[in-house]
Structure 1
Amino acid sequence: MSHPHRRPAETELLAPERHGDADAEAGVLDFAVNVQPGPPGFVRTALAARLDQLAAYPSRTDERRAVGAAAARHGRRPEEVLLLDGAAEGFELLARLAPRHVALIEPSFTEPGRVLRATGARISTVVLPAPWHLDAELVPADADLVVLGNPTNPTSVLHPAEQIRRLCRPGRLVVVDEAFADLTADPVTGRREPESLAAALPDGVIVIRSLTKTFGLAGLRIGYLLAAPAVIARLSAGRRHWPLGTLALAGLTACLSEEGDRYTAALAERLAVDRGRLLAALAETDIEVCAPPHGPYVLIRVPDGLGVKAALRDRGLGVRSCANFTGLSTDHLRVAVRSEAETATLIAGLRDVLTSTPGPS
């Protein structure tokens, strides 16, 4: 299948540092970025209440309150929590562990690989075959740092917690990126976060969590990680003063409040319905869904994915090319789960593109 539409340079789409926000242009209906619209009203109120205090440095009280909220959310001790200037900072801090051999479970979010390659450590990419079930036997035995996502971005695969535990061994740290775990649920029982390790936190596991996706706060940069106190000490040694500002601390505390928990639970339920609607529409359109999705995004594969992406852009629709994810191809596209009306617009665009006859180039 060939499309004459203008498309971004293939070298740009293959760049490891490229993120979906590059496709979320003004005036384009955004299916490329997985951030929810927001922030919700109660978070806005919490942020607005602190605007008059921005002349002062962030306080220890605010920091303790945010740490306590994260600890309480997962039943952890405060000394097992490290607040982050966005979850991406958690990947940067991993360099302080001075790993010798890093195993990256792929395909997955590109940021950990980008920052860990800069450390000079040996890097092994463990590319799981589709549909990307985790297999601990594929990981090199001498890897002292293993990084994976759960649910994985962009495949939306949710690995069983028991399979992740099998990665653990003496002398190894396992980093689990749970950026979208708060929106997962068991499809049968409805139990929230069924495969998260945040509450169990096995020895040798670091869990990195983001709040910006669920609460529509990508511009604020807030997250946290959970790990053993000794690991926290290694990650935070020599860290700058005031790594999170007053608004970040206030936003983090609000997101992790009881009201924030209720909001997340309701959002997870709604997204499950919206995702089911999207999957049904994709099936009716004979578009391949690459794996059963568990996050607020779905990975699809279409012939000439780059051409389809460009043609959708011409129709005012932005989707994420997955050409720069290890183990995926230029035919893979990621689409965010949106409302019923927005999904209908996307499906109409896809049908139009996939059935149109290319004109002269």
Structure 2
Amino acid sequence: MVGRKSLDLTMNTVQYPPSPDMLAAMLAATESAHEYPDMRATELIGTLAARLGVPSDRVLVGPGSAALCQLLVMTVAGPGDEVVYPWPSFEGYPEMVVHAGATRVAVPLRGHGIDLKELAAAVTERTKAVLLCNPNNPTGTVFSDAELAEFVAAVPDDVLVIVDEAYREFVTEPGFRDALAGGPRGLCVLRTFSKAYGLAGLRVGYLVASPALVARLKPMMPLFAVGSHAQAAALAALNDEFAREVEKRCAAVAAERDRLVALLRAQGWSLPDGHGNFVWLPVGERSAELTAFFRERDVLVRLYPGDGVRITVTGRETGDLVAGIAADYLLENGVA
């Protein structure tokens, strides 16, 4: 007999399906599946540039923000170079640096947040890039545009500062400004349609950088990197009506996130305020044990060995299930 499928809360995807307009756009693209997609995603780049208020030569579309980040690292860094990043952060960063043949420089968080001063101190003459995730995955913490500006001013101009904003749509922190709105010039900003827009399976994201960097990256991009379905769905996702729907969806996820944080704290867990679509349980050496406890109850959570456990936030029913399992763990083990 086939066992029941576990609830997967490891990937930070949203529970909402694509909109009817997005589905219709994908269906229309299917009818032209015998033709190649626009190799440079020209229409999508133009639409994004207009939305963001930047020239189109500053925008590059690719198969997800993670793939674009990997391309950036491999383009600017190689053997003998260093790439600095906070830790724990997005688990793909260390692998990207290794693939480039560069040296990893992981800077521990201060508390649960990114310590930008320590990151700046870790930059050497060998450093080619710094990776920053805001909100930070997996801890959910954010830094301000003023802190970012101070950091950029502290590092040499030839060090590329990459700000990964995969979860920016879920931030409800008063006064929060993303790197494009409030950050200094000279940054490379990464964004994705995988999270808030619900297109994780289609692989489409983009970056905004200087025209010179975009021109340098274009020849390095795989040909036809973003398929017709992904381009069509992303364009449909950018219409005004769905943009308002995305805001409502993200607000609902953020409200459930905050409710779950409050439930867990009431049980005795210590965890930071979250600003993504996930919560972070910094349980250190008990991380593997807690992950196994959830798995035994058919719930999969993301393990960061020795650091903590990240749990994707979806709806209220799932939040109650997570809180119930967390309470059972405390009852059986007597610790948080």
User: Which bracket does the TM-score occupy, shorter chain normalised?
Assistant: 0.7 to 0.9
Contact in 2 for aligned 1:282/1:347 (Cα 8 Å): yes
Whole-angstrom distance in 1 between the partners of 2:181 and 2:200: 25
In structure 2, the partner of 1:75 is 53
Q: 2:103: which partner in 1?
A: 122
- Per residue, is there more helix in 1 or in 2? 2
- Which amino acid is the alignment partner of residue 233 of structure 1? A
Contact 2:192 2:205 in 1 (8 A): yes
Corresponding position of 1:301:
282
Residue 53 of structure 1 corresponds to 32
Equivalent residue for 1:216, pick from 198, 209, 223: 198
Check whether the contact 2:36–2:228 (CA below 8 A) recurs between aligned residues: yes
Q: Taking structure 1 as reference, are residues 357 and 185 closer, same or farther at Cα in structure 2, changes over 3 Å only?
A: closer
Deviation at 1:236, TM superposition (A): 1.5
| RCO comparison, higher one (Cα < 8 Å, 6+) | 1
- Is the partner of 1:166 in helix, strand or coil? helix
1:43 corresponds to which residue? Answer: 22
Superposed CA RMSD: 2.3
Counterpart AA for 1:134: D
Task: Compare 306-315 and 97-106 and name the one that shifted more.
Answer: 97-106
Q: Which amino acid aligns with 1:39?
A: P
Relative to the length of structure 1, the TM-score reads: 0.82
Contact 1:149–1:176 under 8 Å retained in 2: yes
The residue type paired with residue 26 of structure 2 is L
- Whether the 8 Å contact between 2:86 and 2:114 is mirrored in structure 1 is no
Q: CA deviation at 1:138?
A: 3.1
Residue identity in the other structure for 1:294: H
Output the TM-score relative to the length of structure 2: 0.88
**Partner residue in 1 for 2:328:** 352
For residue 97 of structure 1, report the CA deviation from its aligned partner: 2.1
**Aligned equivalent of 2:92, options 111, 125, 129:** 111
Q: Note the C-alpha offset of 1:201.
A: 6.0
* Contact 1:176 1:205 (8 Å CA) reproduced: yes
1:159-238 maps to which residues of 2 (within 5 A)?
Answer: 159-168=143-152, 169-186=156-173, 188=174, 194-199=176-181, 202-238=184-220
Say whether residues 1:342 and 2:318 are aligned partners.
Answer: yes
State the distance in 2 between where 1:26 and 1:221 align.
28
- 1:117 is displaced (CA, Å) by 2.1
Number of residue pairs aligned between Structure 1 and Structure 2 = 321
Any stretches of 5+ residues in structure 2 without a counterpart? none
**Equivalent residue runs for 1:270-309 within 5 Å:** 270-289=252-271, 291-302=272-283, 304-309=286-291
2:95 counterpart letter in structure 1: R
Correspondence for 1:154 among 138, 159, 168: 138
Percent sequence identity is 27
